[in-house]
Amino acid sequence: MGDAYVLAVDVGASTITAAVARPGTDEIVATTPIRLGSRDDALPAVAAVLEEGAILFGESAQAHGLLHPQTRVDGFARLVGEDVPLVVSGWRLPAEDVFAQAVAHVVSLAAEREGRAPERVALVCPVDWGEYRRAVIRRALDGAGVHDAELISAPLAAARVGAAAHPVEGGDVLVVYDLGAATFSVTVVGEDDEHNLCVHGDPVSLADVGSADVDDAVMRYAASSSDALARALEDDDPAATGAITGFRGDCARVKEALSADAAAVIPVALAPDVAGIRLTRAELEAMAQPVIQRTLDAVDAALAATGTTADRVRAVVPSGGGARMPLVAQRLSEHLGRPVCTDADPAFLAVLGAAGWGWECACAAADAANEIQARDEALRVAPRRHAESPAQEIHALAAPAGNRWYSAALIAGAALVAAGIVLGGSMAAGLRLDFDDSAYPTPATTDDDGPSDDAARPARASQALLPERGGPGVQIMSPLRVVASRPAPPLRTGLRLIDDPPLLPIATAPSSPGHGTTHPRRIPTMTAPGDPPSTVDAAPGTPAGGSGPSQTQTAPETTPTTAPTPADPPVEQPAPTDPPASTPDPTDQPAPAPTVDPDPPASTPDPEPPAPAADPSTTAEPAPDPAPTVEPAPGPAPSPAPPSPEPTPEATADPVL
């Protein structure tokens, strides 16, 4: 990754620390703290809100707070996720926004020192932060311009450093002892099934114990040494608040100095007559004993909660600024009898572990991106055949092999379906087309007033499918033309077309005189459209198949009766005695072959109605059983005789159903 680096930030209750991770020698990641302050690597976790809304951090905020104490904000890290905002200098600021601005300030300092922005930012968060606080701080970081930050719990970050010196194997665990300025927590860390570090059980935290308690003890010790200093510390004047805050900071620095020195002097600016107060390490340890003893009790509670015995503790990892005191490592070793990790500064232990973890995350993301890029390059340079355009080439590269076979199968199936439709349409069109002799030398004309030469050609059954047209055939292509059809002649009573439904009781309701139409009887009552519902007896002496016109009648509600199946096969009908019906021109569509239908019984009030007369043109089927009050079907009126009568085509008897 070249000169790239990963930045880790730890915003504590009293200090802000940072570390960077970059490639070292022999492929080893080097993690080092980064100097943030002018006098120390750590930055004071202090903010100052100006009247115009700008926020200062670190040493500048500390100096501004001495002059304007009302603008100073301390301990904002502990208030992240709280509903009550901070009210400073007339501004209402959520604590998470101040926290995020502090992280952004550290990122800008690191970019200034390193010469470039970090590749990734890892953030150390307290162990008691749940999903809610993590989500809140992520939103605040995005608003501050720090995107895609990786959050890691402080115990896990510190355990990564401890595990490097004391590897965890089998059922061994590490005890992370985190003594901060305001809080304390102890966490048992082990390995999961995939050999990754994880927290065992629930951490044990003490919200009222921290290294600040030792600072308070040092201040009380100094106040007891000088009456003038004691009176100054009790002053409620707001102007003296800054001086008191400064004196507290001096006590904390002396405490930290005693971690390496045997004695130190506390400067006193509040009492001009006091030059300074001397403090030894032994005196400091005596002040810290009550605090450390409470933390040791919490360690025992954490081990008991997880069922871990002292012999399974691989090492103890002290973390936090309060763990810098040599007394902490000494008491832990005496209490547990296990090694104590002292390879790194406890104040920077968590941020160093977070930097190494952030580097691993950045490398994993880079490897995934490189793998995707290599795969895309391989697909981009792979040869493709039959690529007619760049768009087709990109489509071919993006489509998986299985999808391409599937697409080919779909295209082939669509082609077969289209071919079937074309062939079927061609066959259907061929049935409706007639040969146009006018395009060829043979003279063949069509006379609308009489028969034509087309009479020599047999009638085509497909002409029955042509719609009714009022004029001659319309030529749609040469040498083919469409032959117009004419309506079929009306059927006599008792006959039906072959394509009509099976023999069922029907009621005849002609739409106009002279054109009888049969409809299947599907409901008990059937009324002819356009006529009033009335019952009219058939004229006496008029047969059911008579040619005279009759009025349309409505059949009363009766139970439908199924016509019996004719027992005898149909025979050839005798020659009609009535005048022959008009037949269509041979060039027109011939009438469909009629079939014999049973004559419905006459509807008369007499209990014994006479049987209807049989149609002279066909052999009538046996009459069905009489049904109550079923009106007779009117017969169609005969059509006028044509000028040139033609022989009537034979009627085909209906086969046995």
Q: What is the DSSP string of 87-143?
A: EETTEEE-HHHHHHHHHHHHHHHHHHHHSS--SEEEEEE-TT--HHHHHHHHHHHHH
Largest CA distance in the chain: 155
Residue 429's pLDDT is what? Answer: 44
Identify the three-state secondary structure at position 217.
helix
Cβ atoms within 10 Å, residue 625: 9
Single out the residue of 58, 59, 61, 37 nearest to residue 49, CA to CA: 61
Q: Which two tokens stand for residue 518?
A: 């049969």
Tell me the pTM: 0.58
- Helix H, strand E, coil C: the string for 463-497 is HHHCCECCCCCCCCCCCEECCCECCCCCCCCCEEE
Residue 405's pLDDT is what? Answer: 58
Residue 598: is the preceding peptide bond cis (ω within 30°)?
no
Domains and CATH numbers, the chain: 1-166+345-369 (3.30.420.40), 167-340 (3.30.420.40)
Residue 384's pLDDT is what? Answer: 52
Identify the three-state secondary structure at position 157.
helix
SS3 content of the chain, % helix, strand, coil (to 5): 35, 15, 45
Q: Spell out, as residue ranges, where the chain has pLDDT lower than 50.
A: 386-388, 390-391, 393-402, 426-484, 506-607, 610-630, 632-643, 645, 647-657
CA distance 233 to 241: 9
Judge whether 575 and 557 are in contact, CB under 8 Å. no
Residue 470's pLDDT is what? Answer: 44
Sheet holding 72-74, edge to edge: 55-57, 46-49, 72-74
**What secondary structure does DSSP assign to 429-461, as a single string?**
HHHT-EE-GGGSSS-----TTS--GGGGSPPPG
Residue 413's pLDDT is what? Answer: 76
CA distance 303 to 404: 60
Residue 383's pLDDT is what? Answer: 54
Residue 279's pLDDT is what? Answer: 93
CA 484 to chain centre: 59
Put residue 399 in one of left, alpha, beta given phi > 0 → left and psi -120 to 50 → alpha.
beta
Residue 531's pLDDT is what? Answer: 46
CA distance 71 to 91: 10
Residue 108's pLDDT is what? Answer: 96
Rg (the chain; Cα; Å): 54
Q: Which two tokens stand for residue 127?
A: 């162990």
